[in-house]
Amino acid sequence: MDEGDGFIQSKKIVVLGATGTIGKMTLDVLKRSEEFEVVGISAHQSAKLLLKEKAEFPGALTALTGDRAEDIDFCGDHAIEALMEKTHPEQVVVGIAGFAGLKHAITAAKYSNRLCLANKESIVAGGDFFLKSVKDSNCEIIPVDSEHNAVFQLIDGEKSPVESIFITASGGAVRDVPIENLKDVTPEMVLKHPIWNMGARITVDSATMFNKGLEIMEAHFLFGFPVNKIVAVLHPQGKVHGMIRLNDGTIKMLASRADMRLPISYACHYPKRTENFEGFSPFGELTFEKPDPTRYPALNLAYECLNEGDGARVVYNAADEIAVEAFLKKKIYFTDIYRIVEKVLENNWPKILNDYESIEAVDAKARRLAREMVKRCC
């Protein structure tokens, strides 16, 4: 970027998953930023919304991965690759939801210098293989997931050794429902998240804490911390997003408004802060508790999976995705989500997965077994 004579040359940026919650917020952030030129946007199937978004960013090329539609520049399996090849962006925001984010994030890393990564599944399922692919492409990752973005900010520039990291959890929408009544909570009850505005799966995952389980795995790979040095903390107010404990026992915390546009903007503009997200107050109560393992068994299951090796993490994510989908369609009870994932994990899964095809095969098998379990629950 050349700012020498007041002229700012904009950076080319692509937004993958532009019609999802993160994608829409990213475009909202980029609309107000003078630093970026949005050269590409992608969606899986929402062609109409994608074209509507293009009207605001006329220079952007469009890609649709799961469908064909008129007026879209690239469609089908290789749409993302074609979009990258044509635009060669400096940065890519990966807002794609679910396992599909893995292969597209690998592709995006080949063509760009920075991934602003909101897709936690790529790190969870891809593990070391994914991180190596990104590194080999000379690309950096700035996490967008709010807790990891917070920990990234806390560690960045810290001169003292960091002993452990803490990621906070709101506890989800049904955190005050007595445990014995959890079986009967409905999707409508679970989808009313107390703090964050997010997609459906992640909102259900917040209530079961499968989301926090995935985030513990994400933190392990992103920051290279051993499993026993990553702690989930129940913090219902949603003001503090991450903490680090330093070698003298001091705990540094990061607090900010619970608005995903903030970590998105930070990841895009890093190391600068360019927009003032007002409306955050330090006043009021802040509480931190240990999550109850009986209410949130998904947490301990995540630690077990991390110790189990590569296959278990892929399964934890894939089986949960299927179970949540079934819960949202009212095919299974809320508490069946955990039961299904735990049951699918009981199979023998490979300890090491070091290429995309083997990861994809485990993912597909876990989904198939989870679907069979759903049928048995119905």
Enumerate binding residues for Mg ion (CB under 5 A): 145-147
Q: Do 203 and 240 contact (CB within 8 A), yes or no?
A: no
Which residue has the CB atom at the shortest distance from Mg ion? 145
- Residue 111's nearest CA partner among 143, 77, 134, 145 is 134
**Which residue blocks in the chain are alpha helix, DSSP H?**
21-31, 47-56, 79-87, 101-111, 120-136, 146-155, 187-190, 200-208, 210-223, 261-269, 297-308, 310-328, 336-345, 356-377
Nearer to Mg ion, 90 or 147 (CB): 147
Contacts of 225 (CB under 8 A, 6+ apart): 164, 165, 219
Q: Do 349 and 312 contact (CB within 8 A), yes or no?
A: yes
Least Å distance, CB 333 to Mg ion, is 25
Contacts of 102 (CB under 8 A, 6+ apart): 119, 121, 122, 125, 126, 130, 356, 359
d(CA 126, CA 117): 13
Q: DSSP class of residue 291?
A: P
Q: DSSP class of residue 130?
A: H
Nearer to Mg ion, 67 or 259 (CB): 259
Least Å distance, CB 233 to Mg ion, is 13
d(CA 38, CA 31): 9
Q: Do 299 and 212 contact (CB within 8 A), yes or no?
A: yes
Q: Do 298 and 338 contact (CB within 8 A), yes or no?
A: yes
> What is the dihedral sign for C-alpha 79, 85, 87, 93?
positive
Nearer to Mg ion, 37 or 145 (CB): 145
Nearer to Mg ion, 232 or 341 (CB): 232
Least Å distance, CB 268 to Mg ion, is 17
Nearer to Mg ion, 38 or 233 (CB): 233
Least Å distance, CB 155 to Mg ion, is 17
Query: CB-based burial of residue 19 (10 Å sphere; 0-12 exposed, 13-18 middle, 19+ buried)?
Result: buried
Nearer to Mg ion, 147 or 363 (CB): 147
Nearer to Mg ion, 60 or 102 (CB): 102
Nearer to Mg ion, 125 or 369 (CB): 125
